[in-house]
Chains A and B, each alone.
Chain A
Amino acid sequence: MIDYNSVISQRVQDIKPSGIRKFFDILETMTDAISLGVGEPDFQTPWHIRDAGIYSLEKGFTKYTSNAGMTDVRREICNYLSRRFDLHYDMNSQVLVTVGGSEAIDLAIRCITNPGDEILIPEPSFVCYGPIASLASGVPVPIRLVADNEFRLSPEQLEAAITPRTKALVLPYPSNPTGGIMEREDLEKLVPILKQHGIIVLSDEIYAELTYGQHHVSMANIPEMYDQTIVVNGMSKCYSMTGWRLGYVCGPGELIAQMTKIHQYAIMSAPTTSQYAAVEALKNGDEDIEAMKEEYDGRRRYLVNGLRKLGLSCFEPKGAFYVFPSIQSTGLSSEEFCERLLVEQKVACIAGNAFGESGEGFVRMCYAASMQNLEEALRRIGLFLDSLKK
């Protein structure tokens, strides 16, 4: 009998599984549960994009592509970023096509981390940064964001977290799970500190297109930060292409070249069919983005409004497709709230502490769901809150 504990690396054993899936087993047994627990769009990938993928298969384009990704994809990524976000990159040296934004994050962190280097991670935030930093022999350092500040990162919080070992700052905005954003002036306040300490910014902009009432600003839009910022983005959220697994990373050519090396050995190249679909999406998909965004915006207002009417305090999320209400008034912990809401009223959402300790007291609800489901979910949440008062 092999003792697998002695086989498995300590570093891997130390990593906790994602808290997002905590109640998966309970939910599997239910048939009429409503899920606000998803983290992906509810639209189908627009047909013209799927069609481009299918066409490429019909033509037999099923081989590896170049490591960095097809020229057409890299060109269209550059056109897209320049057209929509005023971000300018050289397609030959500053872009790498990856297997989803997730691989891009992994590559970026692995590329810059020496053993013991500290990676600052504002929390609550998506679950992957810490474990990836640990696997890369770095030390994840959480920065606890607060609801009073709409979960923005303040210069004081940043300054307080910096040590001589600080290597990089993850900037995950628009934010999963809070829906918070960083506006230009918020970013500008961080710049002197980041410059002074020479901290690399890893800007995860996968939700950049889903910003309501304003336009997303990247740290790389601030001229003095351009050379110090790695931008991660992808097709998943804006074109509803989660299953295609296609993302990209842009930044200084010196860093992209090193990331390409890791990608070359670990992955080879991003899926070819998905790259063909991506060319079509990036070229002709602007209208799809606008249409989906308009839909989300209506649902966003409806859910925030509904939760507030039920008495849950909830700041207005200006990005992504999540609402992050406080459930502190119920006296329950985030996990108790989620478990009881699921068992008693069959509504699934995610405990805020799955995204870092500072998420305790909050829950994440996703409004990438039909209006009927949102309406019914609100009704059930109302019943649940009433039952707590008795």
Chain B
Amino acid sequence: MDQRSNKLLKLLEKDCTLTPAQLAAMCDTTEEDIALRVQSLKDEGVILGYKALINWEKTAIEAVEALIEVKITPQRDKGFDRIAERIYQYEEVESCYLMSGGYDVTVIITGRTLREVALFVSEKLSTIDGVTSTATHFILKKYKQQNVVFEQREEQRERLIFS
């Protein structure tokens, strides 16, 4: 991958709503070139998707998120991958990471209520063969996610208009 594609990725990671025309100007190339690059980055599985970052607390929609520490007995030949796959296939699982340190897999899940999340853990997650223990931590408040601060505490003072 060349420098221009790296630049394109950085720009998209920050703001995927930039138009092809804007991206072309910013990367000093043509819109056609941008389209080709984006397509091939998608084909290569480098660009996986585009999503909006939403603060659900400001909506009427109830959502509960939890981070679950999962300990697993690895399987011969397959290591952790086979069991991780059994976990991440659930739609409730938003993220799933293999970890170093005190436990093996981090699972982040979203549900409508505390009860829904608790039921998922007790009935689905902890009953998977190879899962030896779980510890559920509910997320109480989000301060920052993917580099975006949820509630700007800083006084966003207007700059002087001319200076």
Contacts and interface: CB of A to CB of B under 8 A. Distances in A.
Interface in A287-314: 294, 297-299, 301-302, 305-306
A214 B61 CA distance: 51
Given A37-B162, A38-B163, A40-B163, A306 B15 contact: no
Contacts of B154: 44
B142 interface: no
Contacts of A305: 25
A38 B11 contact: no
B161 A302 contact: no
Interface residues of B, number: 16
Interface residues of A, number: 27
Nearest to A369: B159
A302 B25 contact: yes
B119 interface: no
Q: Is the interface of B mostly helix, strand, loop or mixed?
A: loop
Contacts of B124: none
Interface string A122-155: 0000000000000000000000000000000000
Contact of B163 (A39, A297, A306): A39
Nearest to B162: A37
A371 B162 contact: no
Contact of A298 (B26, B159, B162): B26
A371 B15 contact: yes
7 A-B pairs with least C-beta separation? A298-B26, A305-B25, A302-B25, A37-B162, A39-B163, A35-B161, A301-B25
Given A21-B162, A348-B162, 5 more contacts: A20-B162, A27-B162, A242-B163, A299-B26, A306-B25
Interface of B: 7, 10-11, 15, 18, 22, 25-28, 154, 159-163
Interface of A: 20-21, 23-24, 27-28, 33, 35, 37-40, 42, 44, 242, 294, 297-299, 301-302, 305-306, 348, 350, 371, 375
9 contacts: A35-B159, A35-B162, A40-B160, A294-B7, A301-B27, A302-B22, A302-B26, A371-B22, A375-B22
